[in-house]
Every structure is written in C-alpha cells, then in structure tokens.
Amino acid sequence: MHKLRHLSIMLLAMTVIGLSCSSNTNKENQQQSQEKSGSGQKPKPKNVILMIGDGMGVSQIYAGMTVSSNPLVFEQFKNIGLQKTYSKDNYITDSGASNTALATGEKTANGHIAMSPSGDTLTTILEMAEQHGYATGLVSTSSILHATPAAFIAHNKDRHEYASLAEDFLKTDVDVFIGGGYNQFANRDDNRNLVKELEGKGYQVLRDIQDIEEVEKGKLAGLTADKHNPKYTEGRGNMLPRSTQTALDILDNNAKGFFLMVEGSQIDWGGHANDTDYIVNELLDFNRAVEKALAFAKAHENTLLIVTADHETGGMALTGGDREAGQLKANYGTDGHTGVMVPVFAYGPGSEKFRGIYENTAVFDKMQAYYGFDQ
Ligand code: MG
Ligand code: ZN
C-alpha cells in the first residue's frame, strides 16, 4: 500500500514535469511573443472584433466539436475566461440585458436595449469608437434590429420597438451593417423611408449577399432579409462568414482602426427549439465566421478578437455521442435561457486580460481599457 502510494506520487510528479515541458513549445512561445508585439512597448490599440454566439454555452461548442470532422477554431485560443450573465432584475437574462452589459458595461433590466432600468441612455462601445474616430460595424444572422446588434447602437426600454430601433441607426454614422430587417427601414407605418434616408447619408443599400460582397469601401447597409435571415440549412448559406469578411475589409480602410460586432444569432433559436441539428449547424456557421476574424487578427497587428456569448440557451446537456462517427445525443433542461456562465475566448494584444471569471460587464470594461476610452 505504502509502496504503491509512493509510486503514484512519483508518477504524478513526472506527469507534472512532463506537462510543464510540453506546454512550453515553440508554437506557444511564438504566440506569446506575437501577443506582446510592438517591440516591447504597450501594444498600440487599433481594432476590436467582438463576436457573440447568441445562446452559445460550452455544450453548444462541444456539440460542434463532436460533429465536425475538423478541429474548430475555438481550440486555437489560449486566453479563455468565463463571464456571469445574470441581469439587473433576473437570474436568467434575456438578450436585451446581456448585450447591453457587453455593449455598455452596465447591467440593466431584461428587455432593455442600452438603457438603464429607469430609462437613462447608456453609451455603447460602438458609439464611443465612433466618437473617437474609429470605423464601426455590425453583422448578424437575425434582423439587424434584434436585441444583440441593437444593444450596440440603439436605445429603448423595449427591445421589440423595432420601428424605433431602426430610426436609431440613422442617428449614428455606423459604417457597415449587414443583417435582416429590411422592412423596418423600407415599409414603415410613419411613412418615413429609411432606405432613402440611408442613401441620403451616403450608404449603399444592398440586399443581395453577392452585391454586398463586392463593396470594398464607403458606407454599406446590407439588408439581406425582410425580417430575419433564414436558417443556415434553409437558404442562408455562408452569409455570415462572407459578411464578416466584407465588413472587415471595408472597416480596415480606416487608418485609426475599427470596432466590429458579429453575431451568430440562431444558435439561440436552435436552443429555444431544443433542436440539436439546428444548434450544431448554426454553431459550425459561427465557427467559420470566427475563422475569418482570427485570420484577419493574425494578419493585422493590434487587432483584439473576443468571442463570447450573451447567455446559454436550452440547458443543453450532451448525454451521449460518438466522436468517430460525429454523432451526438442531447437533452435539454428548458426551452428558455439558463443562468450558467458562458465562455470568453480572446486573441491579440490584451487578450490575457480575458482570463479568469468576471461579470459580463467586464467584457465592455476590458474593450474600453484596450482602446483607452476610459482615460
Ligand atoms: Mg441575438
Ligand atoms: Zn433567446
């Protein structure tokens, strides 16, 4: 008995030594020096890409990893943390409150869009970036007026006031937005034609992803669906990775830098439907968009890439699977959101600050500190 324990302690010690050696690979050293780049100085802030998988918890990500025959991009990140999603008035957040927290650094009541519980307007990171001369953009697979993108640009106590949320887009100088929601701009009860107004402000208003993809500069409003875009498997195709690439290319024209938010909206809807195939297809689509963003961040120094979620949806539990066959069995605890922490993956200068466990509002704080807007 005693001998055996001694042996197992020795084995443990050997394992620890082995681990510390293997973690010190050349590749990792390379990445570390890359992430501290700027010849020893504090990296000059330039671009932030914030990617939000709506409803994307660890189960949704591992579901994608199980089904995919190739490794997902998530596995390339070294700086990983967890954030708490509860809202000001509820243990279970909605997308209005959680995205307000990510966008403004303030917890608010469920249903609110960049507005405090009492109705004060909360300035968003996108608005701050614009004020400081950065280019800005939003990309989404839902309507561009849905809670996630809206929380970065609009202000309302009711996330469902879509007509009003659309008007708020005109109050900004956002450079690029691509998503659904055309009807709220074009066919309105108040007889305003926001498409005409956007064109008056210099936007190219385009509806087809092929046309959108050809835009290389200037202001772009890509309204790819009347309301929401369809599911990936029902005709949306690669709209999200293509729109992400287009937005990055346009925003990169601004020498000072940019802020871009990209949302994989429908991971959440698959969760609400307790539909495993829906979740996995949307997750893999989001993964391809993250691949585009990570490639951009690797090619463009001083780009901070953050990939996270606003909350988990469905209480998804992976109860069985076959990694070889790419098969999966899942159960669900709810058709709503859950209160569980969600992961944060970060790459680039300042990405090590995203390690640990923190509030969802800290994601905003860290972006603000990266840009230096907090000084
Ligand atoms: Mg959303
Ligand atoms: Zn939801």
Of the residues 95, 98, 142, 265, only one is catalytic, namely 95
Residues with Cβ within 8 Å of residue 234, at least 6 apart in sequence: none
How far away, in angstroms, is 314 Cα from ligand 2 center?
9
Residue at 317 is within a domain:
yes
Distance between CA atoms of 234 and 163, rounded to whole angstroms?
27
Residue at 24 is within a domain:
no
Residue ranges making up the domain that contains 110: 47-371
How far away, in angstroms, is 176 Cα from ligand 1 center?
18
Residue at 27 is within a domain:
no
Q: What is the pLDDT of residues 225-263, one digit of tens each?
A: 999 999 999 999 999 999 999 999 999 999 999 999 999
Distance between CA atoms of 303 and 371, rounded to whole angstroms?
11
Chain center to CA of 311 = 11
Tokens of 223: 């309204």
How far away, in angstroms, is 310 Cα from ligand 2 center?
9
**pTM, whole model, 2 decimals?**
0.89
> Hey, what amino acid is at 200?
G
95 has catalytic annotation: yes
Q: What is the pLDDT of residues 170-221, one digit of tens each?
A: 999 999 999 999 999 999 999 999 999 999 999 999 999 999 999 999 999 9
Residue at 34 is within a domain:
no
Residue at 31 is within a domain:
no
Residue at 281 is within a domain:
yes
Domain count within the chain: 1
Ligand with the closest atom to the CA of 140 = 1
The pLDDT, as a whole number, for residue 244 is 98
How far away, in angstroms, is 127 Cα from ligand 1 center?
19
Residue written as tokens 């287009």? Answer: 246
Residue at 19 is within a domain:
no
Ligand with the closest atom to the CA of 152 = 1
Residue at 86 is within a domain:
yes
Q: What is the pLDDT of residues 102-117, one digit of tens each?
A: 999 999 999 999 999 9
